Structure 1
Amino acid sequence: MIINVISRKLFLSTAIICCFVSNNIKAQTAKNSKKISPDLFGLFFEDINYAADGGLYAELVQNRSFEYGPTERSGWNPLSYWEYACLGFSYGQLSVETNEPVHRNNPHYVVLNVEHVGHEAKYAGLSGVGMKNSGYDGMVIKAGEKYSFSMFAKLLSGKSIKMKVILESKSGALLASDSFTVDSKEWQKQTASLQPSASYDTANLIVLATTEGKLAVDEVSLFPEHTFKNRPNGLRADLAQVLADMKPKFIRFPGGCLAHGDGLNNMYRWENTIGPVEQRVQQRNIWGYHQTAGLGYFEYFQFCEDIGAKPLPVLPAGVSCQNTGGTWRIGGTGQKAIPMEEMQAYVQEVLNLVEWANGPATSVWGAKRAAAGHPEPFHLEYIGIGNEDKITPEFAERFKMIFDALKSKHPEIIIVGTVGPSPDGEDFDKGWAIANEIKIPVVDEHYYTDPKWFITHQHRYDSYKRNATQVYLGEYASWGNKLRNAIAEAAYMTALERNGDVVRMASYAPMLAKKGFTQWGTDMIFFDNASICLTPNYYVQKLFSANAGDTYVGNVVVKDDRDSALAASCVQDSKTGDVIVKVVNYDSSKTKKIVVDLSAFKNIQSNAQQIVLVGNANAENSLEKQEAISPVESTVTVGKKFNYDAPPMSLTVVRIKTRKL
């Protein structure tokens, strides 16, 4: 991770204000305080930009089960990213077969026929025939750390076959190796452990038969033992940690358009993503690559639990994406609907998710969760149905079927509906009409637009009806990763806090993007195999989610309310008693004056934490250079009333304690 500390010194003035306040300056809101959603800021995860395989999912082998194909990407085949390997004048044959796979959901496997093992040895006496995998743009390995290798294999000839697994550098230097023997004519899982002698950013994995014979190979895997929380089949530790650092209140998964898919056969069906990885159903990713489902529903729920976030799974509403077939535009007409005679079975699939997540280990689906190593329930509270769908009669009919069944069988579950892909328009209006008609608890709004829109629409939710359907702002961003984009989003987020009684949740999107593999230009975190770039947008999201409250307090920040470039909010966290003031100045050239009046609070502690994100409006961070923008933290002294000069293009967070430690 690239980290830079800005040496610029910023501080609060604690002078008590006795002077006359201009008539142009008045309290931000007339209301004093109100309860707001405790789940306001969270994360949205979609497998776009190689966010899962090759990204957050820690698997190092690409195309590990030989299921790549040309329908996913032109030129792909079951041996893509694999290379035939022979050492020491050995020779043999490599082929792909489907006759007797490990599991019907994983049909392709490799047959390795070792006809001759030579004597001119490489690697201090090693000869043989096998295959080499280059991973996702190479494999990053670290000296001294352990890597867990596994594969399924079975003998197709009479004698046992000795195997060697090797990590090598790009130039062919041996970095680590281990051995095992295949001696069964039934599929068995083989394991080995590798501990590299040197660190390397573009290593290869070689699986080598060192004695003659014929065998079948499938599900070839290499994981770092050090995954996030050291979970087997786990997550890349550094990427998962920067998400955990945000302290999100929820995580939405698995999409996005990925959820309802490119046609009915491409829908994301949660039941296909649990159980042993070799039995999961892999499929084409709607964004133009392959998804192994190694990062499946169990791993999503487990990650939520590991970082204290509530899971928000989003399931298709019985229809596919309207942009099916390549019509990627607002209002596409490629939507397909599950036939009505199949809908009862699909509704049951949705109900099964609740039993899998929350049911006892003795229930049918709870037992499947327990078999995966989690006998206790996951305490699911939310389920999303649909993702920015076109609001057609077919959609409406199927959504209501699912909604009614969930409401009847599981009234404790909070259902999140959808109102299309835009902040207004036909689908938005039709979606809200359905929400009002059947009283959907929460609906999911999406919008991507320019920074000025976020500045000029800070009062969007002021007029929304209270004590009715609430809003989940599931996807939003200001089309850019410069500081000005992030600060515009920060200004809007103060308005989300102000309207936290109607806006229940919000999450920036998309979250992750791998260098060289992006389908979406504006993202929160960029990464490659070795490093991570945290954008200004990430820091804004983190500063809000890690400094959230459950009560909004008005009459605290005093400012010129005619100035749309100046935004502010004040919340209190009932668990800690902390008061959190946020001040945003979107003006790129002028310092803005505000007054903070904490007289509504008792026991204000004088030492407060201050965090400031500030810089040039056009500054941005990248993988190629040291970060230009990152927050600066300090301790400041505050009083019951103080003034503050908000620097140009800045977000300031002041966290004030009301309880003595």
Structure 2
Amino acid sequence: MNINLKIKNCFKLRVVCLFSLLVFNSYIINVNAQQGKKISPYLFGLFFEDINYAADGGLYAEMVQNRSFEYAPADTPQWHSLTSWEYVKQVFSYGSLNIETNNPIHLNNPHYVVLDIQHVGKHATGEYSDIPENKGTPGVGIKNLGYDAMIVKAGEHYDFSMFARQISGKPMSFVVSLQGTDGKILVEDKIIIDSKDWKKYTTTLTASENSDSASLLVLGTSKGKLAIDVVSLFPQNTFKNRKNGLRADLAQLLADMKPAFVRFPGGCLVHGDGTNNMYRWKHTVGPIEQRVEQKNLWGYHQTMGLGYFEYFQFCEDIGAKPVPVLPAAVSCQNSGGTWRIGGTGQQALPMEDMEAYIQEVLDLVEWANGSATSKWGSIRAATGHPEAFNLEFIGIGNEDKITPEFQERFNMITQAVKAKYPEIQLIGTSGPFSDGEDFEKGWAIANKNNLPLVDEHYYKQPEWFLSNLNRYDSYDRKKPGVYLGEYASWGNKLKNAIAEAAYMTTLERNADIVKMASYAPLFAKKNHTQWTTDMIFFDNKEYSLTPNYHVQKMFSTNYGDTYYKNIISTEKDTTLSASCLKDNKTGDIILKMVNTGVESKNMKVNLSKFKNFIPDAEQITLTGDAEAENTLENPTHIVPKNSNTKVSKSFDYIAPPMSLTVIRIKTKTKY
């Protein structure tokens, strides 16, 4: 309870004070004595954007690439409906394959394969028995190569499914198998296609051995004609064993950070490349065969398998607040590649479409928070989640050019949400830079609309962060709070991470006005990166945690609710930064000390404000060569080291060069 809260009503003040004295007396006295400052409970979180193949082929555990045959040249010029697929004819079998659209599963998913198996061969004998065409099971079908091949593990279970319908008269038999690069069968099973209507067929495949380069073969073994769509293969071992779930190891890395929130799905992905490419949340919920796939702004494709339901469910699974970001009814100012000529290619939804779009924004709140009997709440419940997701935050816009068209539509959206759902905290946008015209205009709009938060973004050299450690000290506490939604030092070397650590101590110092912060981008897949400074690098098998990740985790897992000044003395050394927090839920005192210099430096710690602390403390230190970095080939070059240390009422700490140290001190009582 904050006793500094000013309550005009005298009677209420007396009641609150009396209650406080009776119930929280020791806690209040302690806070007063220490002069701590209450800070944001959700400062450090995550920002996820489908860039660098972060979703499809990454965090989203689907193993089949282009499962619905919706790839197109609009995604990437050389792509088409059969990208990542091979047409297979085995053992003298033959037929034909076509892509059709005249009778799809759903209008949102128009393309599908028509397979016409005209002849199923037989194994030859004698002089023809050893030719390649005589190998394997006789039949005609399709093979998927996955996202840079598929990783399968011996004994692991994989859920296969596909939609199919008969076109010819008789049921058709199929063999579904996982194969190694040499064609070796790792596992196979049989299914019968027996319906002239679209029907989902499933089986579970258990691999007999490990393979780093597997593929999925769907092979028709009887004559006939049929349609196939949405061919899917998922490991059963997803994060929390969720169906249509997330890659377990990558998701666990995020859960281990204990983020207070997750912002999604972008990023520039949100407002898209033109208004027809804006990210529309309604296109991403419901059965996957009914979701609207589309071009990814970053030059590939979005299946929307990782959609709003999956984002919200993941947030719930890891105890993080969901922070969806919606387009402000305008596209990216760099639409059509206009960034090459300085923009602006911003497009705006026509005003006659704004009523429907505003309703779409309002419907999101009902979908997330409405009862299971409400219109959109019932759609959430039908997906298997009758309970509300308890949405509290919505971002409107992302790094937008603050044009008159943007301002008009932004105001319309925010006013409508505030009128119907005043409890929702809206987050404005201030452009992609730390200052400048869009930054000033974005803040002016936020001030005029009295928004709770403004989203600031900036990517800078490490020297910028070190020369701007006082940036938020002078921000007006009576104006909207800051959400630092995207920031990073250009690079993944230790020196970049330590510069960010120094800056993060100042975010803690100013966490009464800086309410939220998230590093960006989050993921980058090997050989598929559009943005080279990222937190986690990965391929289909492994991952590498950057020094930046370790810094972020050390801060987010060692956070508190109260900031204390003048606990750690840096003697005005500009290479040193420090922060002291207390977590009143546990009673722990948390010290963070950063040395950005090339020599060891002394810091003086005075804990006399705190009572009943235990001298035996936990210490985590990240240090090393400034130019060092982690790679997929050497992922543990720079890692934090855990140790035990002794603390006292007053002690010196020698901070290693280029280091972040966290010391966590237990107390005998929480208060």
**Pairwise TM-score range, normalised by the shorter structure:** over 0.9
Please list the CA deviations of residues 172-212 of structure 1 after superposition, one character each: whole Å capped at 9, or x if unmatched: 11101111100100000000111111111110100001111
Matched position secondary structure for 1:596: strand
1:209-608 equivalences in 2 (<5 Å): 209-328=220-339, 332-561=343-572, 563-588=573-598, 590-608=599-617
TM-score normalized by the length of structure 2 = 0.92
CA distance in 2, matches of 1:46, 1:77: 24
Identify which of 590, 610, 614 aligns with 2:619.
Answer: 610
Structure 2 unaligned spans of 5+: 1-33, 125-132
**1:645 maps to 2:645:** no
Whether the 8 Å contact between 1:456 and 1:564 is mirrored in structure 2 is no
Matched position secondary structure for 1:463: coil
What is the identity, as a one-letter code, of the residue corresponding to 2:115? L
Identify which of 148, 158, 164 aligns with 2:159.
Answer: 148
Please list the CA deviations of residues 219-246 of structure 1 after superposition, one character each: whole Å capped at 9, or x if unmatched: 0000000000000000000000001000
- The Cα shift of 1:124 comes to 9.1
1:627-646 equivalences in 2 (<5 Å): 627-646=636-655
- The Cα shift of 1:468 comes to 2.0
Matched position secondary structure for 1:76: coil
Moved more, 161-170 or 123-132: 123-132
CA distance in 2, matches of 1:438, 1:205: 54
Please list the CA deviations of residues 488-512 of structure 1 after superposition, one character each: whole Å capped at 9, or x if unmatched: 0000000000000000000000000
Whether the 8 Å contact between 1:513 and 1:525 is mirrored in structure 2 is yes
Please list the CA deviations of residues 96-119 of structure 1 after superposition, one character each: whole Å capped at 9, or x if unmatched: 000100100000000000111111
Matched position secondary structure for 2:253: helix
Whether the 8 Å contact between 1:36 and 1:501 is mirrored in structure 2 is yes
Q: Which has the higher contact order (CA 8 A, sep 6+)?
A: 1
Change in Cα spacing, 1:267 to 1:471, as seen in structure 2 (3 Å) is: same
Please list the CA deviations of residues 129-149 of structure 1 after superposition, one character each: whole Å capped at 9, or x if unmatched: 101010000000110000000
Count of residue pairs the alignment pairs up: 630
- The Cα shift of 1:576 comes to 1.1
Q: Which residue of 1 aligns with 2:202?
A: 191
Q: Which residue of 2 aligns with 1:138?
A: 149
CA distance in 2, matches of 1:206, 1:637: 60
Identify which of 79, 84, 106 aligns with 2:82.
Answer: 79
Please list the CA deviations of residues 641-660 of structure 1 after superposition, one character each: whole Å capped at 9, or x if unmatched: 21100000000000111136
Change in Cα spacing, 1:500 to 1:465, as seen in structure 2 (3 Å) is: same
Identify which of 157, 180, 203 aligns with 2:168.
Answer: 157
CA distance in 2, matches of 1:344, 1:626: 51
Whether the 8 Å contact between 1:477 and 1:509 is mirrored in structure 2 is yes
Matched position secondary structure for 1:460: coil
CA distance in 2, matches of 1:167, 1:236: 19
CA distance in 2, matches of 1:298, 1:330: 38
- The Cα shift of 1:486 comes to 0.1
Please list the CA deviations of residues 435-465 of structure 1 after superposition, one character each: whole Å capped at 9, or x if unmatched: 1112111000000010000001000000000
- The Cα shift of 1:331 comes to 5.9
CA distance in 2, matches of 1:284, 1:354: 26
| Structure with greater helix percent | 2
- The Cα shift of 1:407 comes to 0.7
CA distance in 2, matches of 1:447, 1:549: 25
Please list the CA deviations of residues 262-303 of structure 1 after superposition, one character each: whole Å capped at 9, or x if unmatched: 000000000000000000000000000000000000000000
Whether the 8 Å contact between 2:433 and 2:458 is mirrored in structure 1 is yes
Change in Cα spacing, 1:229 to 1:330, as seen in structure 2 (3 Å) is: farther
CA distance in 2, matches of 1:626, 1:535: 8
Identify which of 60, 65, 72 aligns with 1:62.
Answer: 65
- The Cα shift of 1:344 comes to 1.0
1:21-60 equivalences in 2 (<5 Å): 32-60=35-63
Identify which of 104, 107, 132 aligns with 1:101.
Answer: 104
Whether the 8 Å contact between 2:402 and 2:438 is mirrored in structure 1 is yes
- The Cα shift of 1:89 comes to 1.1
CA distance in 2, matches of 1:470, 1:302: 27
CA distance in 2, matches of 1:503, 1:382: 15
Whether the 8 Å contact between 2:587 and 2:669 is mirrored in structure 1 is no
Q: CA RMSD in A?
A: 1.4
Whether the 8 Å contact between 1:360 and 1:377 is mirrored in structure 2 is yes
Matched position secondary structure for 2:337: coil
What is the identity, as a one-letter code, of the residue corresponding to 2:58? G
CA distance in 2, matches of 1:433, 1:626: 44
CA distance in 1, matches of 2:535, 2:99: 39
Whether the 8 Å contact between 1:32 and 1:555 is mirrored in structure 2 is no
CA distance in 1, matches of 2:109, 2:666: 55
CA distance in 1, matches of 2:144, 2:560: 48
What is the identity, as a one-letter code, of the residue corresponding to 2:146? G
Structure 1 consecutive aligned stretches of length 4 or more whose deviation exceeds 4 Å: 121-125
Q: Which residue of 1 aligns with 2:3?
A: none
Matched position secondary structure for 2:339: coil
CA distance in 2, matches of 1:326, 1:249: 35
Whether the 8 Å contact between 1:419 and 1:427 is mirrored in structure 2 is yes
TM-score normalized by the length of structure 1 = 0.94
What is the identity, as a one-letter code, of the residue corresponding to 2:359? Q
Whether the 8 Å contact between 1:605 and 1:660 is mirrored in structure 2 is no
Change in Cα spacing, 1:660 to 1:171, as seen in structure 2 (3 Å) is: farther
Moved more, 337-346 or 488-497: 337-346
CA distance in 1, matches of 2:514, 2:437: 22
Please list the CA deviations of residues 379-427 of structure 1 after superposition, one character each: whole Å capped at 9, or x if unmatched: 1110000001011111111111111111111111100000111000000
Whether the 8 Å contact between 2:543 and 2:635 is mirrored in structure 1 is no
Whether the 8 Å contact between 1:331 and 1:390 is mirrored in structure 2 is no
Q: Which residue of 2 aligns with 1:28?
A: none
Matched position secondary structure for 1:581: strand
CA distance in 1, matches of 2:371, 2:248: 31
Matched position secondary structure for 2:292: coil
Q: Which residue of 2 aligns with 1:117?
A: 120
Moved more, 112-121 or 93-102: 112-121
Whether the 8 Å contact between 2:486 and 2:519 is mirrored in structure 1 is yes
Whether the 8 Å contact between 2:371 and 2:378 is mirrored in structure 1 is yes
Moved more, 219-228 or 31-40: 31-40
What is the identity, as a one-letter code, of the residue corresponding to 1:196? A
Whether the 8 Å contact between 1:351 and 1:406 is mirrored in structure 2 is yes
